[in-house]
Amino acid sequence: MKQTLAVTWMNLRSLPSRYMTSLVVVVGIALVVGVLVAMLSMSKGFEHTLKGTGSESRALMLSAGVTAELSSYIDPQMVPLLREMPGIRRDAAGKPLASAELLVITELRRGDGDVNVALRGVEPAGMTIRPEVKLVEGRLFKSGLRELIAGRSATRQFSGINVGSKLQFRGSEWDVVGIFESDGDAHESELWTDADTARSAFGRPGASAILAQFDTSTPPAVALQTLKAAVAADPRFQIDVLGERDYYSSQSQGVTDNINFITVFITVIMAFGAVFGALNTMYSAVAARQIEIATLRAIGFSGLPVMVSVLAESVALALIGGLIGAGCAWLLFDGLTTATLGQNFTQVAFSFAVTPALVARGLSWALGIGLIGGFFPALKAIRQPVAEALRGA
């Protein structure tokens, strides 16, 4: 052990004299880790936004077989019947707390071009059953008027959306009368208006989905099963019932899987380059220390301390590069806001999230590259005959 520590410490102390070759390993691994952490932080941020949307105390009713609100349509004749299903909470007046909502993608005409944005038609009950939605500026839209409120993230995505703005779509002018926040979830990327106004403007008398508050007299899971069973037992309905939070969690899966696949693919390719860089650097380091290594072995040091010292140098360089890469990813991307538009959901604004778990994952890649890059040069260092090494000097 003493031999191993002595040789390793001596080797690490000599790193500054070989900083140019060492820099190749550090920079290469920093790039690998930086790209890995940055791309995974995008996936993590998107997943966090979607999974943070909704509540376990609410259910979402969609037309059967669809995977998203945008492709769902519930006939207007079915809406009153679905509101009366068991498991749905009622207010003090005995009315069911369920909101038949219309979700559409509309095009905003702007001076710098057209942009797509999600517009949600919400009934009064939809505001009541969403306590997380808070109006932070202006007022609520009025029924029958082409007024809307905008989510905080939408105001950041699209410049010019604020209280008092006038937006042009569906051949008419809409007034932005308020701004709302909902704990940074997916709804903050939407524009909301009165449900009947949206149905009239878009010529869709039914609903995309019905959001219902569970009856509080039973646990949410029991109320969900009660509602599911009641809807499934009625042959008039072709409706799927999902927990609201489960629905939004499922929406993130496809995108996060794609991002993770692309990330791993790119990282593996870059890692191969980093490994070859580490191999070249460590072979050069072993060649430069040929006399030193041979001398140590000649005076009685075993091969293990020499091998450990070479591996330690490679791992140290790799971890330095990993820390630099992770640090750059954190400084440049953590909290960065962007937006994405997928097949199963509307445009959603989210922030990159560089978490400790992602940093640890990046450092584990760096450690692996360092071990692979140092292993074969370390073998060469202990396998070369002492006499041959000294003659080669």
Q: Which pLDDT score is estimated for 343? A: 44
Cα separation, 312 vs 316, in Å, equals 6
Task: Identify whether residues 210 and 102 lie together within a single domain.
Answer: yes
The CA-CA-CA angle for residues 170, 120, 198, to 5°, reads 45
Domain assignment present for 121: yes
Do the beta carbons of residue 301 and residue 3 sit within 8 Å? yes
Residue with tokens 């010529």: 203
Domain assignment present for 244: no
Give the domain extent around 95: 65-237
Domain assignment present for 383: yes
Task: Identify whether residues 267 and 378 lie together within a single domain.
Answer: yes
Task: Identify whether residues 216 and 73 lie together within a single domain.
Answer: yes
Domain assignment present for 59: no
Task: Identify whether residues 118 and 48 lie together within a single domain.
Answer: no
Task: Identify whether residues 41 and 178 lie together within a single domain.
Answer: no
Q: What average pLDDT does the chain have?
A: 81
Domain end residue (candidates: 210, 237, 264): 237
Task: Identify whether residues 172 and 301 lie together within a single domain.
Answer: no
- Report pTM: 0.74
Task: Identify whether residues 121 and 39 lie together within a single domain.
Answer: no
pLDDT under 50: residue ranges of the chain? 3, 342-345, 393
Cα separation, 70 vs 390, in Å, equals 75
Count of CB atoms situated within 10 Å of the CB of 218: 14
Domain assignment present for 28: yes
Query: Over the stretch 53-78, which tens digit does the pLDDT of each residue have?
Result: 888 999 999 999 898 888 899 999 99
Dihedral in degrees, nearest 10, Cα atoms 157, 160, 162, 168: -100
Element of type H or E holding 336: none
Domain assignment present for 95: yes
Helices (H), 67-123: 79-83
Domain end residue (candidates: 237, 262, 278): 237
> What residue type is 295 in one-letter code?
T
Task: Identify whether residues 287 and 368 lie together within a single domain.
Answer: yes
Task: Identify whether residues 23 and 147 lie together within a single domain.
Answer: no
Task: Identify whether residues 385 and 269 lie together within a single domain.
Answer: yes
Q: Which residues contact 124 (CB under 8 A, 6 or more apart)?
A: 99
Kindly tell me the sign of the dihedral angle through the C-alpha atoms of 15, 19, 20, 25: positive
Chain centroid to CA 117: 20
Domain assignment present for 178: yes
3-state SS of 162-185 is CCCCEEEECCEEEEEEEEEECCCC
Q: Which pLDDT score is estimated for 162? A: 87
Domain end residue (candidates: 207, 237, 267): 237
Provide φ and ψ at 100, rounded to 5°: -85, 110
Q: Which pLDDT score is estimated for 265? A: 83
Task: Identify whether residues 215 and 306 lie together within a single domain.
Answer: no
Q: Which two tokens stand for residue 171?
A: 């051949």
Our count of domains for the chain comes to 2
Do the beta carbons of residue 102 and residue 121 sit within 8 Å? yes
Domain assignment present for 245: no
Task: Identify whether residues 40 and 109 lie together within a single domain.
Answer: no
Q: Which pLDDT score is estimated for 342? A: 47
Q: Which pLDDT score is estimated for 274? A: 78
Count of CB atoms situated within 10 Å of the CB of 124: 13
